[in-house]
């Protein structure tokens, strides 16, 4: 190869490629281990999270992982009932966003879309003002957390199941859109190590049914 070309390639590698790769490794490591965002393409968490929301994922809410892996270096907390979390599905490894409704040691049961926790019914309040003609919205009170859940009478779903005791290091996840959510009722418990992080807020939001116009009222809004 021409010495002049060798010199140019060496300069290109040292001044452009190496710095770019270094920055890329730093950014991807940060996203892998510390913080990330997650686009929401489905309505399984309606009415809390809408299609087109981009949610913030706090990956150090519970632990510190080795970048690009699920191995934990340190742990300082565990998901709590009511937390919205991002995790790898045990069924197909896809990233899902759901709410923790049962933690290790809990006995959870559902009767006609009403949760029972450790033998006691969870409280519900009417909250249907935002519901469409086919949907019903109520407020579910999970511990000291109040959040909205949606049901759709007439739609196929698992609305009842017998009491289940949640094993050690396992969690029971459900979508707030109870009749339109692929969750632990279908794929079972979620192992602690599959949980990527906690989703505390919507960062940005667009309306895919309205030419992807921004929903400014949802920007930087906390998730209940």
Q: Which of 98, 148, 198, 205 is catalytic?
A: 98
For 93-124, write each residue's pLDDT tens digit.
Answer: 999 999 999 999 999 999 999 999 999 999 99
Active site residue 111: no
Which residues 6+ apart lie within 8 Å of 83 measured at CB? Answer: 99, 100, 198
Tell me which of 15-19, 82-86, 135-139, 210-214 is least confident.
15-19
Backbone angles phi, psi at 97, to 5 degrees: -120, 115
Predicted pLDDT at 69: 73
For 4-26, write each residue's pLDDT tens digit.
Answer: 666 665 565 555 544 544 454 54
The CB density around residue 115, as the number of other CB atoms within 10 Å, is: 21
Domain boundaries, the chain: 1-33, 34-222
CATH class in words for 34-222? mainly beta
The CB density around residue 3, as the number of other CB atoms within 10 Å, is: 7
Active site residue 98: yes
Predicted pLDDT at 32: 47
Catalogue the E-assigned strands of 122-194: 123-126, 136-142, 145-151, 161-165, 170-174, 190-191
3-state DSSP call for residue 102?
strand
- CA 10 – CA 17 distance, rounded (Å): 10
């Amino acid at each position: 190869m021409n010495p002049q070309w060798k010199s140019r390639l060496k300069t290109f590698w040292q001044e452009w490629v190496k710095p770019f790769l270094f920055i890329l490794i730093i950014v991807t490591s940060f996203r892998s281990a510390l913080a990330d965002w997650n686009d929401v393409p489905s309505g399984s968490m309606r009415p809390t999270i809408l299609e087109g929301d981009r949610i913030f994922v706090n990956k150090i809410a519970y632990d510190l992982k080795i970048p690009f892996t699920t191995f934990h270096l340190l742990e300082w907390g565990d998901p709590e009932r009511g937390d919205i979390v991002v995790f790898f599905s045990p069924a197909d490894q896809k990233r899902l966003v759901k709410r923790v409704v049962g933690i290790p040691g809990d006995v959870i049961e559902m009767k006609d879309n009403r949760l029972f926790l450790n033998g006691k019914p969870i409280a519900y309040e009417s909250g249907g003002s935002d519901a469409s003609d086919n949907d019903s919205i109520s407020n579910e009170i999970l511990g000291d957390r109040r959040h909205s859940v949606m049901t759709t009478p007439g739609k196929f779903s698992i609305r009842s199941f017998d009491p289940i005791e949640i094993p050690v290091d396992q969690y029971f996840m459900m979508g707030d859109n109870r009749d339109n959510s692929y969750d632990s009722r279908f794929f079972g418990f979620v192992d602690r190590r599959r949980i990527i992080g906690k989703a505390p807020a919507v960062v940005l939001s667009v309306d895919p049914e309205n030419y992807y116009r921004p929903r400014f009222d949802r920007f930087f809004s906390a998730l209940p």
